[in-house]
Structure 1
Amino acid sequence: MRGWWQDLTDLVLPAECAGCGAPRTVLCPGCRAALGAGRPRRVRPVPEPAGLPVVHAAAPYADRVRALLLAHKERGALTLAGALGAALAGVVREGLGWSDAGAGSGGGPVVLVPVPSARWAVRARGHDPVRRMALAAAGELRRTGTPARVAAVLRQRRAVADQAGLDARRRRVNLAGALEVMPGGGRLLGAGRVVLVDDLVTTGASLTEAARALRDSAGWQVGIPNGGGSGVSRVVYSAVSREGREERRRAVWPERGKWVHGAPEKAMTNVLEPTLRAAVIAAPRDSFEINRN
């Protein structure tokens, strides 16, 4: 575990860039640019697990980006959280379809739900890297005019093995049923656009399990049919949120069909589940859809 003096030393006397080793800087301009090189894109692991949310990523998991994520996660380079959070905020905007319309489009705040790390990993690292990045991303979204907050409502309900070295099938087995929403966590989601966030997607097992836990949480979502035939379905959250000293019901927003594989949504007559999204910093190069066409 890092000591406070190590964090202070990193802030005052940065030794080298965590991405490329350039001297006298925590993050050089080239590595900072690598985090936002190009527009965030849709990624789909192969094979794509059933129940995986629509996922967008900022960059391929290689070279400088890989080094930055490992430095932040495993070596405690906490000063990278701001840059990683800014990159994650850009992915969230792209996934919500706000990159062209401008920040703050849509209804309700953005609610970022970090995928939780294993308890033993948090103890070993001395911090939760995904939660730290989510907090930085929410701050960047607010700074640019988008109401956003973090709801760390997921937790592990049982121990899981280290995912390193496991193939896609074993990862799914390892994580199946491992996560749950904390008691009362559904109320913290409120009436916002919920986005699962993680640093990396490889097989999609972690995001799939996190999405399953959110979907199964009692009392979070209630659907109503779309009676207008406009291709816009509406979802209402029954959660109560506290604002100031008052409790009030939170609102409704339209979900547009372009979110679901580019096809318009059809009117539904049964309970409608809100569509979850996911945003990550990086993904394997071959999972970017543009590279498979």
Structure 2
Amino acid sequence: MIADLSDAFRQACAEALALLLPVACAGCDESDVVLCERCVLALSPEPRRRLIGAGETSFPVWSGLRFEAVPARVIRALKEDGRTGLARALAPALRAALEAAGGVSGVTVVVMPTSWASFRRRGYRVPDLIARRAGVRVHPLLRQTRRVHDQRRLDRDGRRRNVEGSMRATDAAGRRVIVVDDVVTTGASVAEAVRALRDAGAEVVAAVTVAATPRRAARTDEPQPAAFQTHR
């Protein structure tokens, strides 16, 4: 309740400032519009599946958008520039990915934890905000048990080592779970979340993100059959 009120207040302030300050499209910098029509179309969901891990520990990650071009710029504007109103434009991508993963009926949607430093810098948690705009109730069953470094400058192995053993899950035993995050890159962070949930007794159905960084090994990143294209 307090989080919802805080978010509503922040959104009202942002809208008030928009009346006083110049605004530009988050996707292409066109003036006097938050998102132009072309960039809105560029955010049309196209769910894709990626398999993280191998063997019995592997799990699917469904993402609504590719993290490139307009979607990448819009997500960065939300995460780094405080443009919280953009969460509503990204919500359809999250909903489409959830539908492609089988929907939320009978599952607990668990949001990825945000570090205190990131929350203090932004004043909001990005995955939570987008999920609320998507009309999805999330559960904070995960928490970080130690500080981790910024992942952006680390390679694949460095990311894995950085987050290894950094999360713990509570109240997860017996639950069927979908993990929600904003962007998946190498999958190291979401893999650690899945490990923590499984160790706590949860059955992880899938992970879902708004967007995924494209990979050169494209087989698992190719568009899925037409049945999944209907989620656009």
Does TM, scored on the shorter chain, surpass 0.5? Answer: yes
Pairing 1:238-249 to 2, within 5 Å after superposition: none
SS of the counterpart of 1:210? helix
Q: 1: CA distance between counterparts of 2:122 and 2:90?
A: 17
Gaps of 5+ in 1: 99-103, 140-147, 222-273
- 2:59 is equivalent to residue 24 of structure 1: no
- Does the 8 Å CA contact 1:52/1:207 hold for their aligned counterparts? no
Of residues 177, 194, 212, the one that matches 1:283 is: 212
Quote the offset at 1:171 in angstroms. Answer: 0.8
Contact 1:56–1:278 (Cα < 8 Å) also in 2? yes
The code of the aligned residue for 1:216 comes to: D
**Residue 11 and residue 113 in structure 1: after superposition, are their counterparts in 2 closer, same or farther (change >3 A)?**
farther
The structure whose Rg is larger is 1
Shift of 1:121: 1.0
Pairing partner for 1:94 from 100, 108, 112: 100
Quick one: distance in 2 between partners of 1:7 and 1:53?
Answer: 38
The aligned counterpart of 1:186 is 172
Aligned pairs, how many?
A: 211
Aligned-pair identity in percent equals 35
Counterpart Cα distance in 1 of 2:101 and 2:80: 27
Matched, 1:35 2:43: yes
| Compared CA separation, residues 290 and 162, structure 1 to 2 (3 A) | closer
Question: What is the CA distance between 1:283 and its match in structure 2?
Answer: 1.4
Cα deviation, 1:112-148, whole Å, max 9, x if unaligned, reads 21111211111111111111112222x1xxxxxxxx5
More helix by share: 2
Alpha-carbon displacement from aligned partner over 1:26-83 (angstroms, at most 9, x marks no partner): 122222222225x3011246xx477452101122211111101100111111001112
Asked whether the 8 Å contact 1:72–1:81 carries over to 2, the reply is yes
* Structure 1 counterpart of 2:125: 128
1:60 aligns with 2:60: no
Write out aligned runs for 1:56-205 (5 A).
56-96=62-102, 108=106, 110-137=107-134, 139=135, 148-182=136-170, 185-186=171-172, 193-205=176-188
Structure 2: unaligned runs, 5 residues or longer:
1-8, 224-232
Instruction: For residue 111 of structure 1, report the CA deviation from its aligned partner.
Output: 2.7
TM-score (norm 1): 0.64
